[in-house]
Amino acid sequence: MKFLPLNKIKSGMIVAMNIKDFKGNVLFKKGTILNKEKINIIKNNGIFRIPVIEKKAEIKSVSDAAHAHSFISKELLDKSFEKVKDIFEEIMNTGKIDIAKIEEVAVNLTKEMQKNFSDKLYVPLKKLKTYDEYLYSHSLNVMILGSLIGLENGMSDEELTELALSGLLHDIGKVKIPLEILNAPRKLSSEEFELIKNHVLYAKDFLENSGITDKRIINGALEHHERYDGSGYIFKKKGKDISNYGRILAVSDVYDALTSKRCYKKPWTPYKTLSYILSHVNKHFDPSFTQNLVNALGLFPPGMKVMLNDGSEGIIIATNRSNKMKPIIKVNDDIIDLLEEKNLRITKIINYEYIEDQTT
């Protein structure tokens, strides 16, 4: 990122931090791709220098281009992962959750996501490095996806933090399940599956024993395997009988589980996963929370290689939340916002390539 005087600003550069007018109103959000018109608006507001990412000099990789629109920095994602790992290891040793520590992770992430929740969005998820780290990366990713739904839904600060906490701890009950069952690279026996189901009850015990009294946080974890049509577990609750957080975490949980690599399966692409989720709306998933998730993730997920009607090929790097069909694309060294390039459109999906730090 650089602070450049306006005469050095060129079309195609990306705004690196929100630009505000003298009253403090946001003129252009972080991630906005500048053009002549926007540069003039900035000039007319009497602003002389702005923070930008120079696309050609600084955006070499697809990952860098995507991260210019990310609502969580790579640093905070990595730092949060390390903290979640430490906290979970402590829970395994002591049987207690250090609520203050996990709350700090939830609050820091929620604040950053709220601040950077722009119209143009890339949602980074933590990449799984080793199979035994799945619980940590999954917990973090379910929290991020749940918060994304909460943000789309216009939840209050308080609700967002509670939801984040519920997401981070939704699978904490799994620390009581033997690893050879949890990571079994085979079909589980019905007895083993019954045992795994108990992780939602164990989560409730953990939360209550650690001093969490808020029912909404507890129910989020307790009900994340309930399904909208009553086909889930553990109470076989249906529809709106399942708490809001339970329904939000259910769809977030499935999205991350399917897109993750496990010892018994390859990762699904975000595209295949979204298709699966959309085909299970009203059966497994709440329709409006699913809509929130799809709005934020887009129908053309970052990493997808597509062809445009002018014959050029590019990779999706971010979503336009206002139009799921018009994402932001990196074509060679150029960043193209389909919302603004009215003559361009996607004509073909070529394949899917993982962005360096997406879940693989």
Which residue from 162, 171, 223, 337 is in contact with Fe ion, where contact means CB under 5 A? 171
Site string for Fe ion, 240-259 (x = CB under 5 A): -------------x------
**Distances, alpha carbon 227 to alpha carbons 165, 166, 230, 249, 290, in Å:** 21, 17, 5, 11, 13
Q: To the nearest whole angstrom, how small is the minimum distance from the Cβ of residue 333 to Fe ion?
A: 39
Instruction: Please count the other Cβ atoms lying within 10 Å of the Cβ belonging to residue 84.
Output: 24
- Which residue stretch of 163-171, 175-183, 202-210, 308-316 sits at the interface with Fe ion (rule: CB under 5 A)? 163-171
Distance of CA 191 to the CA centre of its chain: 34
Q: How far is the CB of 212 from Fe ion (least distance, A)?
A: 17
What is the rounded distance in angstroms from the CA atom of residue 31 to the CA atom of residue 66? 10
Indicate the residue among 152 and 171 with the shorter CB distance to Fe ion.
171
In the complex with Fe ion, the residue whose CB is nearer, 161 or 260, is: 260
% helix, strand, coil for the chain, step of 5: 50, 15, 40
User: At closest approach, how far in Å is the CB of 278 from Fe ion?
Assistant: 20
Residues 335-354 that bind Fe ion (CB under 5 A): none
- Determine the Cα–Cα distance for residues 170 and 245; give it in Å rounded to an integer: 10
Residues 68-127, interacting with Fe ion (CB under 5 A)? none
Torsion angle defined by CA atoms of residues 166, 135, 73 and 318, in that order, rounded to the nearest 10 degrees:
-90
| Binding of Fe ion by 223 (CB under 5 A) | no
Distance CA 167, CA 44 (A): 44
To Fe ion, the closest distance from the beta carbon of 169 in angstroms equals 11
Q: Rounded to an integer, what distance in angstroms lies between the CA atom of residue 325 and that of residue 319? A: 9
Binding residues for Fe ion, how many (CB under 5 A)? 2
Residues 6+ apart with CB under 8 A from 235: 223, 226
Binding window for Fe ion (CB under 5 A); candidates: 35-43, 109-117, 120-128, 169-177: 169-177
Q: Which is nearer to Fe ion, 162 or 253 (CB)?
A: 253
Q: Near Fe ion by CB under 5 A, which window of 97-105, 170-178, 334-342, 350-358?
A: 170-178
Spatial distance between the Cα atoms of 61 and 356, rounded to a whole number of angstroms? 9
Q: In this chain, which stretch among 75-83, 164-172, 190-198, 327-335 interacts with Fe ion, using CB under 5 A? A: 164-172
Judged by CB under 5 A, which stretch of 72-80, 100-108, 166-174, 294-302 contacts Fe ion? 166-174
State which residue, 206 or 300, has the beta carbon closest to Fe ion: 206
Q: What is the DSSP letter of 262?
A: B
Output phi, psi for 310, to 5 deg. -90, 5
Distances (CA, A) of 268 to 10, 256, 260, 275: 39, 10, 7, 11
Residue 24 CB, shortest distance to Fe ion, in Å, is: 40
Nearer to Fe ion, 10 or 262 (CB): 262
Q: Which residues bind Fe ion (CB under 5 A)?
A: 171, 253
